[in-house]
Amino acid sequence: MFGGGALMEQVPRSLWGMIAAAVIAAAALALILWKFDPYSATWPVFTLLFLSFWVIASGAAIPAVYFYQLRRGAPNIKELFTQAWQRGLIIGCTVTTILALLVMHVLSWWNGLSVVVIAVILDMYFRK
């Protein structure tokens, strides 16, 4: 899938930890959605919901960005992991913010576009 074993040998251990955290957060999100009624839930339930969703989104985005950049032939693996971590966290925050706006019934196309533009500006600011 990603070009064989040589590519998998270059993957940092913390990336596998992030994938495991995303799987655990997915189980927590499923438990929250199954056990709690959103109409009668209190703020701790929503906090756990958004936190687990953020971990899932970041946990999916960080490896995706890492493997995408690795396939493009990035020269510095250590710097590549740092950039993937930053971009993955920005993507996770963006998606979670859009979900929060949707839950509060204030999401419209210009609010979503504003969140995405801020995310792109942050990514450009942290790019080396």
Q: Spell out the domain ranges in the chain.
A: 11-126
State the pTM of this model. 0.83
- Name every residue whose Cβ is closer than 8 Å to that of residue 112 and which is 6 or more positions away in sequence: 98, 101
Question: What pLDDT score was predicted for residue 30?
Answer: 94
Query: pLDDT by residue (tens digit) across 90-127?
Result: 999 999 999 999 999 999 999 999 999 999 999 999 88
Query: pLDDT by residue (tens digit) across 33-51?
Result: 999 987 888 999 999 999 9
Question: What pLDDT score was predicted for residue 81?
Answer: 84
